Structure 1
């Protein structure tokens, strides 16, 4: 009787070979998919989790941004044909900014944001604004649960007095400048112009938090569509343009009267300003960093050439802010405080070395080498101040 059998089974070695080939194919497909998605993420900038914002023709792309609360990184790409600044605004308050982003260039900015809805600027001051929504996160919840830092109460109270005192001086000196302009006294107005500007520069880290007033008191023609002929060109630099470029007070009476009203409004806001302790060092670091990165290179006082006087006032105000924080900060971070004091001294020494018997020279007479040295010292100071909040537990 003949037995019936099926086809012969392949040897075990052939089965293993087929499984190995199938597994290799699956891995190849998975690898290709992973490479595809990784390459897409790389192109979009996802490798560093930065939010890329491209500005062109007065618009932001994207125009509506959502990020989690805490630290976020933004890359601002200027695809327009004008230098621009990019700001994050909470109402009229400037939270973070990057200035003088040149056409075709990119600047990176980090911001620590609380949950809420904010606005972003998109190039020129007259451009429509975009939106930035910050959603709650574990980091923001931990921040909200942080106990109050009562040890900073004294420093904050003294800082408030300093701000109000300087704001009052600002109103007084600006009113004197306005009086000279109203009677047509060009020489007297020139004499009083810088005296009026100094107190503003001393409190600039807090004053420029109010975007509407800052853009009225101290706008630069470079950031306005029609430059010096733009209706939004008001405040100190518009008066400076008349006194030093046009060499006349013609047309300045209305400008100076409005400036008095604007600085008075600033004084009133400062009186009611509640300043979180971390804002002191944060504001100082932002201002000094801006001086190092853009203001020293390009200058701001294009007509009077008195930029060095501005820088001196900025350093005086910054030194005052650090002195107020020192009694609390030195216990928690003595090395950081010591470094800040050293960097302040370095920057002040370099700046003072430029002063002659008749005061500071016109800024266009300052050499590239001197500007580079001053920028280096200011950058080191900004970096040192930038470490303070974390060192004393404010971040």
Structure 2
């Protein structure tokens, strides 16, 4: 699937669910090696000069990329490209942080891409061809059910997103501030559940969900957060109708794209991990909904989307690693329980009223889930 590589993203966790053959795992805080068995390891050190892979050529099959930000202040991510397609990536790596992603690669010419480096792209070669991994028939059947189930889930949630967004944008076009504010969090909830899928479609996610610090040209800033700023900070919807119109069009485009998108088992697990990364990098910090302070709604949506992906994989994971399955399931329950004190009516309290000590507790719960969850993709890769 063609993915635009012309718009660097600023410290935003992303997922790449819609690319056939993708198996990405790991998070920056992971303490364990979740590489598939027998994977060749490739080191990528981020510097402001570039990000050369070592070795620069590997045989086809499972490959784990170990990415570390050695000294880069301008570079925070590394991506593996096949043409314009992002095959896998690790983001949000400030100096000293590291992370991994794993792929099952076929032979061919690739590039390692690190936006904003002096040399942004470096060639990477995969030789030979990759055989389909052998798998226990019962596990294979369970994983097939998981992927078809996830496809149906994504389609269903985007089907809810379209009218919920229109309810929000209709209020914006009508200049009804109160109604627009009331509809904002619910529309975003459906989007945040499946955000890693949207992120796989090039510039579609930035168009829908970019924050002010994600765009260089403010005149081209569109999407939910542009309207959020108008509502809560600018306190005026003047000139926002074109932004509302574009948001409707972008959400409609997402609906068209997900209708034909299929998934690999490890993609579900990676998407779940990316959703947890989203919580840690922007929801817990309060950066995501900085004007409306509806971050906890997004927080719950991210966790809900991650849990759905995991629940679909759980029957297979129960067979391949029952202990890990139990651990992840327990930690999901702990995260959701930690959110309960902040429930208010059909939503959540204003996140600006949640103190730093309470935010630290939420962070600890998310971290406790993210570490074992990052191991799941390797377990369902066959």
TM-score interval (norm. to shorter): 0.7 to 0.9
- TM-score with structure 1 length normalisation? 0.75
Taking the aligned partners of 1:155 and 1:208, their CA distance within structure 2 comes to 21
**What are the superposed Cα offsets for residues 165-189 of structure 1, whole Å, 9 maximum, x if unpaired?**
1111111111222211222212111
1:136 matched to 2:126:
yes
Structure 2 partner of 1:153? 144
CA distance in 2, matches of 1:279, 1:307: 26
- Identify which range, 62-71 or 352-361, moves more after superposition: 62-71
In the aligned structure 2, how far is the partner of 1:214 from the partner of 1:160? 19
Does residue 388 of the first structure (1) align with residue 381 of the second (2)? no
> How many equivalent residue pairs?
331
1:322 to 302, 310, 313: 310
Report what 1:214 is aligned to.
Answer: 205
Alpha carbons 2:161, 2:251 under 8 Å: kept: yes
State the superposition RMSD in angstroms: 2.9
SS at match of 1:297: coil
Aligned counterparts, 1:46-61, within 5 A:
50-55=43-48, 61=50
**Secondary structure of the corresponding residue to residue 264 of structure 1:** helix
From 187, 191, 194, the counterpart of 2:185: 194
Counterpart of 2:362? 374
Is residue 2:353 matched to residue 1:365?
yes
Task: Give a deviation string over 1:309-344, Cα, whole Å, max 9, x none.
Answer: 100111111222122122222122221111111000
Change (3 A) 1:118 1:256: farther
Matching of residue 304 in structure 1 with residue 286 in structure 2: no
Larger radius of gyration: 1
Aligned equivalent of 1:280 = 268
SS at match of 2:47: strand
Q: Quote the residue 1:240 is aligned against.
A: 228
Higher helix share: 1
For the residues of structure 1 that align with 2:304 and 2:372, how far apart are their CA atoms? 17
2: CA distance, partners of 1:391 / 1:182 = 48
Contact 1:71 1:112 in 2 (8 A): yes
Structure showing greater relative contact order (alpha-carbon pairs closer than 8 Å, 6 or more residues apart)? 2
TM-score between both structures, scaled by the size of structure 2: 0.77
Q: Is the 8 A contact 1:94 1:209 kept in 2?
A: no
| In 1: Cα distance, 2:112 partner to 2:320 partner | 35
Query: What displacement does 1:252 show?
Result: 1.2
Which of 186, 195, 205 is equivalent to 1:204?
195
Q: Deviations over 1:281-331 (max 9, x none)?
A: 111012203422554235211111111110011111122212212222212
- Structure 1 residues 294 and 178: CA distance shift in structure 2, 3 A: closer
Quick one: structure 1 residues 329 and 347, their matched pair in 2 at CA, closer, same or farther if it must change by over 3 Å? same
1:120 aligns to what? 113
User: Which moves more between the two structures, 201-210 or 290-299?
Assistant: 290-299
CA distance in 1 between partners of 2:230 and 2:119 (Å): 31
Give the unaligned 5+ runs of structure 2: 1-40
Q: Using a 3 Å threshold, how does the CA distance of structure 1 residues 273 and 185 change in structure 2: closer, same or farther?
A: same
Secondary structure at the residue paired with 1:122?
A: coil
Q: Distance in 2 between matches of 1:78 and 1:362?
A: 37
* 1:350-361 pair list within 5 angstroms: 350-356=338-344, 359-361=347-349
